[in-house]
Structure 1
Amino acid sequence: MVLQAVFVHGIRTSSTMWRAQVGHLAERGIPSVAVDLPAHGTRILEAFVLDEAFATIDAAVRDAATRGPVLLVGHSMGGLLSIAYAGREDPPPVAGFIAASCTAFPRGAGLAAYRLATHALTALPDQGRWIADRVLEATLPLETRADFGAGGYAFFAQNTALKSLAALDLPAALRRISVPTWFVNGQYDQLRVNEQVFCRLVPHAELIVVPRTTHLVTAMRPRVFNAVLDLAAATLQSADPARTPT
């Protein structure tokens, strides 16, 4: 059986944000799937519902687990959802976990401010597309720049999705995560605010901070993030060499 990877995207973007990572793993003989959460990407006409988001992750993980051990990888909102999923009381079939750009608890004044900002952007004539495109042009390399928006932007799902995240009991979920875990943050990521708390709640986790990088660490420094994937794959292989590719 061969190691499998399941990727869960962040808010507003889609499965296309993982193109560099999917291609990297394919070159190494590691199959992967990148899901679209409800109201995002190919499912942009759906409503965002938390239970359906978890069902999407669970279906992908359980399907992949029929072919080998699963490395779950989530970014931002997808990382928070994946934390809640990986840390269920009845553990899902996840062998390893990478949580990128998501070491902040979605609650309180910080969440309220972010929701206000997204509401203001969505109220613009282009729903903030021009601003989003300028930010990507200024921060992302050409090789990944088009990937974030290739599946469309779920501008109108943002407020509902953000509100839903406040219902997650992340401290409890974090305490229950027992598989090899990596927290990956950009040096200038605003969601590093609870980084040390997350590490205390998952004491076996490794923290990787990527210098000169913002929240979009997977696309801003794709080679560095791909190296983390290689680290995770090697770790899971060493734990059970008969079940992962060499």
Structure 2
Amino acid sequence: MVVQVVLVHGIRTSATMWRAQVAHLEARGHGVTAVDLPGHGSRMQEEFTLDGALATIDAAVRDAAARGPVLLAGHSMGGLVCIDYVGAPDPPPVAGFIAASCTAIPRGLGLATYRALARRFDALPDRGMWLTNRVLDATLPPETRSDFGAGGYAFDTQDAALKSLSVLDLLAALRRIDEPLWFVNGQYDQLRVNERLFVKVAQHAELIVVPRTSHLVTAMRPRVFNALLDLAIATLDSRATAGS
């Protein structure tokens, strides 16, 4: 059976951030689903809840699992929620997992500071989009620049989504993950703070750090990230062959 890929976006953005990955995977014959979490993209008018986000991921994974082994990839907030999902006491049908830009425990002073900065940024004229656009123009390649925000930005959802992450017990979830796991971080990613702890706790994890790259590793280095998807898919194919 052909590996199926489910992609989960980060805070504020949407499924459109994965367009380069979707095109890459489809060209190679893999089924791929990029979801919109509640309060984001095509679901902007919905309220974000952690239960709703987990249900969205679960529905996509179980639908994909009917067609083949599932590789789940989540970025930033999406990656944090996916860690909780994959590491549930009752494991979901996920054969492999890429956790991108999400090796930080979202609690305490760090989370409070991040939420405060986000609120201050959101209070700027035009909700800070003039600065956001300048940064994205300077750091993202033309092939992904328009995709990153094509689904809109979930300004009104951001604080509620960040607050909800504080209940996640990521270390307990990581200890339960028994499938191949890849942590992918940009060299200059601010969420690398707990990466060594995450790798130590997880049973079958590899850490890949992409040089000269920020938090937006999927969009800033799309070809590198696509190659990592290919690596993960090859690993799952090899495991399936060995087990047959």
Contact 2:177 2:202 in 1 (8 A): yes
Once the 2 structures are TM-superposed, how far is the Cα of residue 3 of structure 1 from its aligned partner? 0.8
Contact 2:177 2:203 in 1 (8 A): no
Contact 1:101 1:216 in 2 (8 A): yes
Which residue of structure 2 aligns with residue 29 of structure 1? Answer: 29
Which residue of structure 2 aligns with residue 2 of structure 1? Answer: 2
Which residue of structure 1 aligns with residue 17 of structure 2? Answer: 17
- Aligned partners of 1:121 and 1:190: how far apart in 2? 17
Higher helix proportion (structure 1 or 2): 2
Give the 5 Å matches for 1:163-174. Answer: 163-174=163-174
Once the 2 structures are TM-superposed, how far is the Cα of residue 41 of structure 1 from its aligned partner? 0.1
TM-score, with length taken from structure 1: 0.97
Which residue of structure 1 aligns with residue 40 of structure 2? Answer: 40
Which residue of structure 2 aligns with residue 216 of structure 1? Answer: 216
Amino acid at match of 1:118: A
Contact 2:178 2:203 in 1 (8 A): no
Once the 2 structures are TM-superposed, how far is the Cα of residue 13 of structure 1 from its aligned partner? 0.2
Once the 2 structures are TM-superposed, how far is the Cα of residue 124 of structure 1 from its aligned partner? 2.2
- The reply to whether residue 101 of structure 1 matches residue 101 of structure 2 is yes
Contact 1:38 1:48 in 2 (8 A): yes
Amino acid at match of 1:237: D
SS in 2 for 1:112: helix
Which residue of structure 1 aligns with residue 72 of structure 2? Answer: 72
Deviations 1:117-175 (A, max 9, x none): 11012222311221211110011000001111000000111110000000111111010
- Aligned partners of 2:37 and 2:128: how far apart in 1? 21
Once the 2 structures are TM-superposed, how far is the Cα of residue 242 of structure 1 from its aligned partner? 9.1
Give the 5 Å matches for 1:173-192. Answer: 173-192=173-192
Amino acid at match of 2:33: V
Once the 2 structures are TM-superposed, how far is the Cα of residue 241 of structure 1 from its aligned partner? 3.2
% identical equivalent positions: 71
Amino acid at match of 2:225: F
Contact 1:122 1:156 in 2 (8 A): no
Once the 2 structures are TM-superposed, how far is the Cα of residue 203 of structure 1 from its aligned partner? 3.5
Deviations 1:23-82 (A, max 9, x none): 111111111000000000000011111100000000000000011110000000000000
Q: What are structure 2's unaligned runs of at least 5 residues?
A: none
User: What is the RMSD computed on CA atoms of the aligned residues?
Assistant: 1.1
- The reply to whether residue 200 of structure 1 matches residue 200 of structure 2 is yes
Which residue of structure 2 aligns with residue 238 of structure 1? Answer: 238
- Aligned partners of 1:241 and 1:23: how far apart in 2? 26
SS in 2 for 1:67: coil
Give the 5 Å matches for 1:69-148. Answer: 69-148=69-148
- Aligned partners of 2:169 and 2:242: how far apart in 1? 36
Which residue of structure 2 aligns with residue 152 of structure 1? Answer: 152
Once the 2 structures are TM-superposed, how far is the Cα of residue 231 of structure 1 from its aligned partner? 0.3
How many residues matched?
243
TM-score, with length taken from structure 2: 0.98
Amino acid at match of 2:43: R
Deviating above 3 A after TM superposition, structure 1's stretches of 4 or more consecutive aligned residues are none
Q: What are structure 1's unaligned runs of at least 5 residues?
A: none
